[in-house]
């Protein structure tokens, strides 16, 4: 499969590329300096509609990893309009599969996360007004509208925190209950590319991608059930107490 990866030279790209490069022909794009890569690389600003359409020519699928979090203009340019451009490019070339990415709070913003448990990826989006969350959420909504109007399937993989798994800092102190290793995150793109489109529940599906964690705050059940993805590292050292920290003064 010929796969265009937008924003390939960011944080996640270096972990997605090794997961896919054996089975797929990759065309990488970003606005950074080209990485040391054997794959085709194009300098593409995802906010440039014509450039994204040109980059998508001859592709069978598009993966959008592009993201900008802080600057208000750039966040809208990349996270919202960039996603529009990816959808428009897919429709322009008859590409039927787009893999979109973002943080979990594009859906499960503070109104969910501060109050609820067993939050799944199919709840109505409540991103809140945080810049990063709402711009990515707008992009996700744009995807949904495109799938309802065109022959396009969008699979959105939502992440939050990443780990290599062998860090020691933070062990035994618990963490935001939405973490995954970089490697397992990269592996999630394999089934997202290979899942038969007619096997998906709808043309617009969202998946929470994180390790099997005991908190019960969110659920990754759908990613496992629909994509067959399995985390290989559940980061136990972070949410298991360290032996010396099991008892503290006053615990009796």
**Nearer residue to other proteins within complex by CB, 11 or 145:** 145
Please report, for residues 48, 133, 169, 171, 185, the alpha-carbon distance to residue 160 in angstroms, rounded to integers and kept in the order given. 27, 11, 18, 18, 10
CB of 112 to other proteins, least distance (A): 11
CB of 12 to other proteins, least distance (A): 24
**Nearer residue to other proteins within complex by CB, 72 or 215:** 72
Question: Which distant-in-sequence residues (6+ apart) come within 8 Å of 85 by Cβ?
Answer: 46, 47, 48, 49, 52, 53
**Nearer residue to other proteins within complex by CB, 63 or 88:** 88
**Nearer residue to other proteins within complex by CB, 61 or 80:** 80
CB of 85 to other proteins, least distance (A): 8
**Nearer residue to other proteins within complex by CB, 72 or 173:** 72
CB of 70 to other proteins, least distance (A): 11
Q: For residues 135 and 49, give the distance between their C-alpha atoms in angstroms, rounded to a whole number.
A: 17
CB of 36 to other proteins, least distance (A): 32
111 phi and psi, to 5 degrees?
-65, -25
Please report, for residues 101, 174, 184, 210, 248, the alpha-carbon distance to residue 242 in angstroms, rounded to integers and kept in the order given. 34, 11, 24, 22, 12
**Nearer residue to other proteins within complex by CB, 100 or 135:** 135
Round to the nearest angstrom and report the end-to-end CA distance of the chain: 61
Pairing of strands 179-181, 161-163: parallel
Q: For residues 177 and 161, give the distance between their C-alpha atoms in angstroms, rounded to a whole number.
A: 9
Residues in contact with other proteins by the rule CB under 8 A:
47, 49, 72-73, 76-77, 80-81, 84-85, 87-88, 91, 109, 111, 126-129, 134-135, 137-138, 141-142, 145-146, 148-150
CB of 158 to other proteins, least distance (A): 17
């Amino acid at each position: 499969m010929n796969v265009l990866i937008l924003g390939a030279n960011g944080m996640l790209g270096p972990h997605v590329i090794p997961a896919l490069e054996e089975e797929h022909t990759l065309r990488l794009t970003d606005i950074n300096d080209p990485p040391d890569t054997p794959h085709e690389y194009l300098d593409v600003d995802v906010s440039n509609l014509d450039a994204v359409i040109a980059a998508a020519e001859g592709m069978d699928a598009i993966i959008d990893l592009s993201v900008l979090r802080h600057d208000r203009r750039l966040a809208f340019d990349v996270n919202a309009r960039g996603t529009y451009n990816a959808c428009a490019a897919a429709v322009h070339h008859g590409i039927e599969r787009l893999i979109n990415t973002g943080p979990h709070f594009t859906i499960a913003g503070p109104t969910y996360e501060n109050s609820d448990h067993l939050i799944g990826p199919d709840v109505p989006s409540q991103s809140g007004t945080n810049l990063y969350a709402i711009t990515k959420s707008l992009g996700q909504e744009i995807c949904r509208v495109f799938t309802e109007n065109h022959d396009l399937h969008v699979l959105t993989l939502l992440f939050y925190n990443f780990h290599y798994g062998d860090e020691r800092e933070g062990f035994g102190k618990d963490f935001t209950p939405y973490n995954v290793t970089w490697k397992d995150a990269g592996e999630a793109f394999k089934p997202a590319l290979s899942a038969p489109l007619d096997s998906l529940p709808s043309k617009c599906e969202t998946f929470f991608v994180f390790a099997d964690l005991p908190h019960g705050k969110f659920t990754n059940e759908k990613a496992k059930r629909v994509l067959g993805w399995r985390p290989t590292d559940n980061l136990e050292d972070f949410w298991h107490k360290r032996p010396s920290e099991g008892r503290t003064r006053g615990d009796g």
